[in-house]
Chain A
């Protein structure tokens, strides 16, 4: 706090000079009491200028109260739903594979003066694990619904639920798909070469979204080394690589955060671990209306740090459904 005393010091003949707006506001908020408060009250009673100011301060409050709260945009709501679905699936998987739930790091503020038992984690019922299994089945439906939303009109069979082929965080939901993943990996040739035919939207070369899945995002790994010049053409070539010729792995949490930050609500087409101008980078392609948007993200790009090395856009026909 500054020292408001100076501005309201008693002037000649005991007449107080006009208090600062700050001081009036604090008085209005009940923060100035006692003799100081009494002085201000007396001054207000006899000063039209300060009374007007005081009324304006009250007006600020009612003006602020009159501004309607913004509703959450649909795009943000969808994104949060997607992230939440991923969290649920992740927790489900963890609960399915570990009998006991790990303790989560404490929230100091909540713990400090906690009244203890009332809201403590639920006691484990005997045989509780069976409940989790049932839960795992039950959750698939809502998660799938969100995935469809994210991936657009593609059939569920195209969507790689789980996706954690090479990661320790494998999910129970992903177990069904895991059988299929090695096949794709085994049949991978020079997946992701820039020299792949940049064919038009012919059936065989149609790219499928890599699927924002319940557990995360699948990253295509490939030897492509993209360059600044003619980036759009190179991205087209990457999109033209058939899914069967791609090697994939689960996205890291940083990659996932980066992707979600960049694509917003747009439909994810491709995430590929590439090189850009001979340095590691991540190529991210999303359907943004009539065109696809491609970003080349730096390795340190994350949910909290938007670090894009280059971008381009291209007609979405190449990867269209």
Chain B
């Protein structure tokens, strides 16, 4: 979030459109961690996420003049990132993928880590479980439940109705429940996992 005195998002975007060479960079850097999280969680693949984010950034840079201001700049940026990510998933759909919701693949994914202490790590389990969801469900769940967007904002980002967002989230939660229920008991413990304990896998 911008500090006191730093220009607002829409001001940065306006400067960018007016020709300011640094405004877009400042705007993008301000939000890129969240945008990265959206792309990564939607695509479940760091390399693809980086590609999608790059596509989205270039697209936003070039089309900033079309932004009309009826939504927040962050909503606009997130929409471009989500669309770039979903586009990629659609292209990938022809290839065999986990997004079809293969339970065996899920088990394999959890098991492949080898180290049991790691495999039980909350983040890894959640990451693996997310792959069971159909992409539109996953995108909605990531925005609302993981990144804390309101249903209305998520609907604007996903270009759909709030009811659809609620429904996708509800079904996604139901789908994930059997895979995440074992984590609920030790959640307070896993919340305090420090990066040194393996909570952070680059």
Contact = CB atoms under 8 A, between A and B. Distances in A.
Interface of A: 1, 20-22, 24-26, 28-31, 53, 56-57, 59-73, 76-77, 79-81, 83-84, 87-88, 91-92, 95, 103-107, 109-111, 113-116, 118-122, 128, 131-132, 135, 138-139, 142, 260-261, 303-304
15 contacts: A22-B170, A29-B166, A30-B166, A31-B170, A63-B183, A66-B187, A69-B33, A69-B146, A76-B46, A76-B50, A76-B53, A80-B32, A104-B66, A111-B68, A303-B51
A216 B173 CA distance: 45
Interface string B103-118: 0000000000000000
Interface residues of B, number: 69
Contacts of B53: 76, 80
B171 A121 contact: no
Given A76-B53, A119-B68, A138-B21, A110 B76 contact: yes
B70 A83 contact: no
B181 interface: yes
B69 interface: yes
Nearest to A83: B54
Contacts of B136: none
Given A122-B17, A122-B18, 18 more contacts: A25-B173, A26-B166, A29-B166, A59-B187, A60-B173, A64-B176, A66-B190, A72-B32, A72-B36, A76-B53, A88-B24, A92-B21, A110-B76, A114-B68, A120-B68, A122-B14, A135-B21, A303-B55
Interface in B163-201: 163, 166-167, 169-171, 173-174, 176-177, 180-181, 183-184, 187, 190-191, 199
A110 B69 CA distance: 8
Contacts of A131: 19
Of residues A53, A72, A87, A113, which shows the largest number of chain B Cβ atoms within 10 Å of its Cβ? A72
Interface in B1-41: 10, 13-14, 17-22, 24-25, 28, 32-34, 36-37, 40
A47 B159 CA distance: 38
B93 interface: no
Sort A-B residue pairs by CB-CB distance and give the 3 closest, nearest first: A114-B68, A119-B69, A122-B18
B14 A119 contact: yes
B184 A56 contact: yes
Of residues B66, B91, B169, which shows the largest number of chain A Cβ atoms within 10 Å of its Cβ? B66
Contacts of A70: 36-37, 40
Contact of A26 (B68, B159, B167): B167
A65 B148 contact: yes
Contacts of B50: 76, 79-80
Given A88-B21, A104-B63, A31 B145 contact: no
B51 A304 contact: yes
A118 B181 contact: no
B13 to A, nearest CB: 7
A31 B187 contact: no
Contact of A87 (B36, B58, B173): B58
A72 B68 contact: no
A84 B28 contact: yes
Given A73-B202, A303-B54, A60 B176 contact: yes
B201 to A, nearest CB: 9
A63 to B, nearest CB: 6
B57 interface: yes
